Structure 1
């Protein structure tokens, strides 16, 4: 089996009380690109772990004082993701099994081949990185959300074309748009179409973290950097190394943090809070904000030089009220996904409700639409969403208020919804009737007939 050399900076802590073995392991793995630290006892290893972060611990079980099992238990009390490989004697398989139960990645028995340990170490490091990545990624939007926020709006389609054009670039991207328009979904789409797909996609919400924590989250900190910093911590920029960092609500970032971020963009290095050591990073930056950063720069609340660094590729997501041709496809796809999630069988939306959807202001944009539909699907007693399903929520009441109070004929309601849908499809297709018919799922002759009946140009 081919042996993978370490990614620059992968850090291994070896714990072994036999000096010759410890020296051999340190030399062998250093030659393979790992940053190696050696500890001759469990006590020394624990002290090192309190000062530095590692990607892997390889430890002999038979240690005086703090044994290998003891050290593993101590680590698992504070870190569930740090990979740990146990080295045991030939007659201590029971100990190895116990280590696996506690949370060791694997074990090797003496005597062992160094090449086999190297392969195991490589797998353990990758395993640890994967778990850290999974714990960091904020999966705010599921697969259904990602598919339906694209839609057929011409500006959105142009935006998707831009994303395809920059797929081979690492240029920073700034996405601006109102809350709820799907900025985080498009950020992930940019990452997934880039050459960094398969590498970490790490999100940090700059508006959700207190001012005294955002620097620590971004850049990490050393032990004792501030009250409560009892252990060193790797920052999210370092966790995203090789991948993409998504800075959501970048407009909320403090002036001091903006200055540090600018240096990271310019010099490709970061310095943990309270530390002196510089750490090199390789990340692609995607930022998002619901603020107008031009105005923020003019008001002196956002650094102009940082703005131009982040906005090499500026994108703007229009609000839902400016892309009404996408409302009906959104409703259809959301209802389908919600049926799967909740085991419901909603297949229709009352025409009057659909008409109110088309006319509503949707101040909360796609997020508000989804919330209204989720509540409506849950409350629907039959196969249709009616006005009665909307009223319990404030957002739903706003939509329900637009449903006509006096009954109208079903034919009138259906025709109104159908007329609006055809107009939306034609707008999405830039007037191309064949494409509009394809969007609507009908034949061209049927479309021509309906356009003539409704007087649509």
Structure 2
């Protein structure tokens, strides 16, 4: 993806120098002589960096910065001036300038500053794109389950994560498809690039195409400025197409072309843009049946499902239940300032028996409610069944001792670590990646559990 730079300078010689300098450095440069021209350019194209003189005829560089901040809080902006003062520098930084440079300046210093500003902007755009699915709160350690269905899934992921192969994750709602997609990205060679989530079922068709491919100014009502599409934003990273089964037929055609040719055409645009992304998709539908009934394009299905993964429902991986319970209890203890450490035998039995039709999401909601309603360190049937349970569950079995969550979770955690070490063939750094934790954290856990050998 080209780095798009907008330079605003009313001195012709300086404008020409800056344009040539940054063109040689590989930037796609637009050079203008006034803030008014710069504003018009910003409505036509989405830029990665603005470098502007402070003293301009008409609208000043400071005024241009204020105007940009009214519509874009993250676009990096560097001010250059030959008459710099401490007051103007402080004001520029307060408004949101990335840096303030006084003339004369060294070329190398300006180049380094521009690189840092672009990286700063990319980082903030990625942060603003972070997916907020509930599954994201789960620790990646929970992916490495000891149940047979999850072992099969993880064995496939181990083989394909490093490639750029398209992956299709199918599973019921609430099973953790987003979490698994993030895990695949973290193990890939693209893990330093962005992970961009696109919810194909949340937007109407015209807005969905704009989100995917971007648009030019005036492409439709309300398109007052150009916008870069998420497929372009994900350059060198991974695109996660959630609820891919909801994609409208016309958008399916355009997405197929993007995958085949690795290029996109913004809505209303005439020129294609090259992209470099990996595609991971997810759906709670049976896409093969959708293909058979004509609801989904067969050619797109085979493009997306080179590696199909079937994520098991929670009721099919009961061996992993306590690991989830322990994680959620720790999370909600911290969030709600509670100190739950034990489950009553009745609650434990019910957790293992319930069908969990809402999967991980349902379990998480129920554990949060139970932690909130607990009076002390114990989750009993009264607080766990507050949402409405059968009479059998309401009767607490007082003949058995409560189960210590810490002990049960530690056993599940040790099993997960053993599994990760086997997958990594003893390589601890690689095992830490599989677990989704830092290497130092893994070393601490190995020492704590006396598993160092």
TM-score range, shorter chain: 0.7 to 0.9
Q: Secondary structure at the match of 2:51?
A: strand
Whether the aligned pair in 2 keeps the contact of 1:360 and 1:402 (CA below 8 Å) is no
- 2:371 paired with 1:377: yes
Aligned-residue offset at 1:149: 4.1
Which is higher, the Rg of structure 1 or of structure 2?
1
Give me the whole-angstrom Cα distance separating, in 2, the residues matched to 1:402 and 1:138.
Answer: 40
Give me the whole-angstrom Cα distance separating, in 2, the residues matched to 1:411 and 1:386.
Answer: 12
Aligned to 2:75: 82
- 2:29 paired with 1:36: yes
Aligned to 2:340: 346
Map 1:226-241 to 2 at 5 A: 226-241=220-235
Map 1:379-418 to 2 at 5 A: 379-393=373-387, 397=388, 400-401=389-390, 403-406=392-395, 408=397, 410-411=399-400
| Residues 1:349 and 1:411: Cα distance change in structure 2 (over 3 Å) | closer
Whether the aligned pair in 1 keeps the contact of 2:345 and 2:400 (CA below 8 Å) is no
Give CA-to-partner distance per residue, 1:183-228, whole Å, 9 cap, x none.
Answer: 0000000000000011100001111112221111111111111111
Map 1:272-311 to 2 at 5 A: 272-311=266-305
| Residues 1:409 and 1:78: Cα distance change in structure 2 (over 3 Å) | closer
Whether the aligned pair in 2 keeps the contact of 1:149 and 1:366 (CA below 8 Å) is no
Give me the whole-angstrom Cα distance separating, in 2, the residues matched to 1:283 and 1:22.
Answer: 35
Give me the whole-angstrom Cα distance separating, in 2, the residues matched to 1:52 and 1:384.
Answer: 58
Aligned-residue offset at 1:101: 0.8
Q: Secondary structure at the match of 1:208?
A: coil
Instruction: Return the TM-score normalized by structure 1.
Output: 0.86
Give me the whole-angstrom Cα distance separating, in 1, the residues matched to 2:193 and 2:279.
Answer: 13
- 2:258 paired with 1:264: yes
- 2:126 paired with 1:133: yes
- 2:61 paired with 1:68: yes
Give me the whole-angstrom Cα distance separating, in 2, the residues matched to 1:264 and 1:392.
Answer: 50
Give me the whole-angstrom Cα distance separating, in 1, the residues matched to 2:78 and 2:362.
Answer: 48
Whether the aligned pair in 1 keeps the contact of 2:76 and 2:97 (CA below 8 Å) is yes
- 2:112 paired with 1:112: no
- 2:155 paired with 1:161: yes
Map 1:140-179 to 2 at 5 A: 140=133, 141-142=135-136, 144-179=138-173
Aligned-residue offset at 1:413: 9.3
Aligned-residue offset at 1:68: 0.3
**Structure 2 residues not aligned, in runs of 5+:** 420-447
- 2:18 paired with 1:25: yes
Give CA-to-partner distance per residue, 1:138-197, whole Å, 9 cap, x none.
Answer: 142345443224321112122112212113200000000000100000000000000001
| Residues 1:14 and 1:315: Cα distance change in structure 2 (over 3 Å) | same
Whether the aligned pair in 1 keeps the contact of 2:342 and 2:402 (CA below 8 Å) is no
| Residues 1:403 and 1:377: Cα distance change in structure 2 (over 3 Å) | farther
Give me the whole-angstrom Cα distance separating, in 2, the residues matched to 1:362 and 1:263.
Answer: 39
| Residues 1:402 and 1:147: Cα distance change in structure 2 (over 3 Å) | farther
Give me the whole-angstrom Cα distance separating, in 1, the residues matched to 2:137 and 2:233.
Answer: 24
| Residues 1:51 and 1:91: Cα distance change in structure 2 (over 3 Å) | closer
Give me the whole-angstrom Cα distance separating, in 1, the residues matched to 2:289 and 2:142.
Answer: 31
Aligned-residue offset at 1:322: 1.1
Give me the whole-angstrom Cα distance separating, in 1, the residues matched to 2:326 and 2:253.
Answer: 45
Whether the aligned pair in 2 keeps the contact of 1:255 and 1:302 (CA below 8 Å) is yes
| Residues 1:348 and 1:109: Cα distance change in structure 2 (over 3 Å) | same
Whether the aligned pair in 2 keeps the contact of 1:331 and 1:373 (CA below 8 Å) is yes
Aligned-residue offset at 1:354: 1.2
Aligned-residue offset at 1:96: 2.1
Give me the whole-angstrom Cα distance separating, in 2, the residues matched to 1:353 and 1:212.
Answer: 48
Whether the aligned pair in 2 keeps the contact of 1:356 and 1:402 (CA below 8 Å) is no
Aligned-residue offset at 1:107: 1.2
For structure 1, which segment, 133-142 or 19-28, has the greater mean C-alpha deviation from structure 2 after superposition?
Answer: 133-142
Larger RCO, structure (CA 8 Å, separation 6 or more): 2
Aligned to 2:116: 123
Aligned-residue offset at 1:358: 1.0
Instruction: Return the TM-score normalized by structure 2.
Output: 0.87
